[in-house]
Amino acid sequence: MLSKRSKTAQTAAAQPDVAGPRHVAIIMDGNGRWAQKKGKIRTFGHKAGVESVRSVVRFARESGVESLTLFAFSSENWKRPEEEVSVLMELFNFVLNNEVKRLHKNDVRLKVIGDTSAFDEKLRTKIQKAEALTEQNSALVLNIAANYGGRWDITHAAKLMAQDVLDGKQQLDAIDESHFGQYICTAGLPELDLLIRTGGERRISNFLLWQCAYAELYFTDTLWPDFDEKVFQTAVDDFKARQRRFGLTGEQVSVP
Ligand code: IPE
Ligand code: IPE
Ligand code: MG
């Protein structure tokens, strides 16, 4: 028998007029375990995960998502074994070398969010070039979170804002949430609607802390290299079946 939840999900899936998420973020977790299950080394999973990235970008574009934010490397991931970190950096380089053209062709705007000052000069130049090349594209904004941490994002924003106060560009009394939000990495993009985490863990791992305020959370046991358009669609259908109340009552929200 179908549960109440899955019945609602089916109804929403059948209704094309239910609004889908405008901004989706994904914690792409489970690469290491995926590889280990196959008797391979962890980095094999990171390499396999690139194909899932391609497929989610395609899906997001085709389904009208405006912004897609992918967690590729956290500020804590530097603590992993040196060999793994270096393969992840090489992979980031490889993706920038080989995917940017295709992204540009598909009208995707690429942005790297996070503390890029930790990357070497060559990588930073590559990032800047890719961002400049795709700046005018408008089919989808693709944010790659690299050396990103939610606490870093908030601290960085606070520092930028404090500097503006010191420079007399920002009045202390005028600061409110929307002012502060302009200094956060995802400023100017739609509010985060849906956060997906693959790999079975039910935690945020210092991802988009500010942006998660009213995001819908979706956790799946699917390991990242197995994530595809079908799992993405299931997450979107689940999102569409939810009632987002933003502090109001259910009755207030359902009034036409
Ligand atoms: C996510 O997969 C990728 C990164 C953190 C870079 P993991 O490498 O964390 O995979 P598991 O969680 O160990 O399986
Ligand atoms: C989160 O995954 C970071 C990325 C997916 C890039 P982790 O595997 O690093 O998270 P924890 O350590 O399990 O919380
Ligand atoms: Mg992990």
Of 86, 24, 19, 17, which is closest to residue 61 (Cα–Cα)?
Answer: 24
- Catalytic site residue from 29, 153, 193, 238: 29
Best substitution site from 26, 27, 28, 31 to test ligand 1's pocket, by max atoms within 8 Å of Cβ? 31
How far is CA 213 from its chain centroid? 15
Best substitution site from 74, 207, 227 to test ligand 2's pocket, by max atoms within 8 Å of Cβ? 74
> Domains in the chain, ordered, with CATH?
20-150+192-242 (3.40.1180.10)
Binding site as annotated, residues? 29-34, 42, 46, 74-76, 78, 80, 197, 203-205, 216
Token duo for residue 241: 């079946």
> What pTM was estimated for this model as a whole?
0.93
Q: Which residues of the chain have pLDDT under 70?
A: 1-17
Q: Please give the pLDDT value at position 6.
A: 43
| Dihedral over Cα of 228, 231, 235, 241: its sign | positive
Q: Please give the pLDDT value at position 3.
A: 43
Token duo for residue 17: 């007029």
**What is the whole-number distance in angstroms between the Cα of residue 104 and the centre of ligand 3?**
30
What tens digit of pLDDT does each residue of 6-51 get?
444 444 444 556 899 999 999 999 999 999 999 999 999 999 999 9
Q: Please give the pLDDT value at position 248.
A: 97
Q: Give the ligand with the smallest distance to the CA of 45.
A: 1
Q: In what order do the strands lie in the sheet with 216-219?
A: 108-113, 140-148, 67-74, 23-27, 194-197, 216-219
77 belongs to the catalytic site: yes
Q: Please give the pLDDT value at position 16.
A: 53
Which residue's entry shows tokens 């509010």? 191
In whole angstroms, give the CA distance from residue 91 to residue 182.
31
Give the CA diameter of the chain.
64
Q: What φ, ψ does residue 192 adopt, rounded to 5°?
A: -70, 125
In whole angstroms, give the CA distance from residue 48 to residue 116.
24
